[in-house]
């Protein structure tokens, strides 16, 4: 393994949350660390760094991606959207509102990944069943809620109905 800081760095140019970014990075830095450490976008969380928990889920060229399983250099030229960008653009505002109203989060560590994943589901399946919601978030771990409230919140966002707590 090459050892930094002696290792060569690679320049990456990408669009993050609509802004052009250029950074010189270590080839071994994964995208999640890049977003957090280079750009200060700490809404993307690192839970397992082996692609299982889903806390680091972001959009890369519109697809949901585990940013811990992708190197920053692989994102060269890509368009990346994180929870911060999706929040500021209002794209996930309805989901955020239903998550808040339904208490579909406790510690909040899984929440950014959960919101990005849920938004992706609602783009392809605007009116999902509870089972479809459960299936869609089945690779996003939540240790606090037991998922019930998250399913309620996604259903409320999709169907515009108030769910009973």
Least distance (Å) from another protein to the CB of residue 143?
5
Strand 10-16 with 79-81, pairing:
parallel
Decide if residue 70 touches another protein (CB under 8 A): no
141, β-bridge pairs = none
Instruction: Give the span between the Cα atoms of 58 and 116, in whole angstroms.
Output: 6
Decide if residue 64 touches another protein (CB under 8 A): no
Of 76, 135, 159, 162, the residue at the interface with another protein (CB under 8 A) is: 135
Tokens matching residue 64: 């949901």
Q: Which of residues 5-24 bind another protein (CB under 8 A)?
A: 5-6
Is 27 or 79 the residue whose CB approaches another protein more closely?
A: 27
String of contacts with another protein for each residue 72-111, x by CB under 8 A = ----------xxx--x--------x--xxxxx-xxxxxxx
């Amino acid at each position: 393994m090459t050892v930094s800081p002696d290792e060569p760095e690679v320049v990456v140019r990408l669009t993050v949350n609509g802004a052009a970014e250029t950074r010189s990075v270590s080839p071994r830095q994964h995208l999640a660390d890049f977003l957090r450490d280079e750009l200060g976008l700490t809404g993307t969380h690192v839970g397992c760094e082996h692609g299982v928990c889903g806390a680091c889920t972001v959009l890369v060229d519109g697809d949901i991606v585990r940013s811990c399983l992708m190197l920053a250099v692989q994102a060269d030229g890509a368009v990346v959207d994180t929870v911060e960008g999706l929040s500021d653009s209002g794209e996930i505002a309805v989901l955020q509102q239903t998550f808040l109203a339904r208490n579909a989060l406790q510690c909040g560590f899984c929440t950014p990944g959960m919101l990005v994943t849920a938004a992706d589901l609602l783009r392809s399946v605007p009116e999902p069943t509870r089972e479809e919601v459960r299936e869609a978030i089945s690779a996003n771990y939540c240790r606090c809620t037991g998922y019930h409230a998250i399913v309620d919140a996604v259903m409320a966002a999709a169907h515009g109905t108030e769910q009973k707590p």
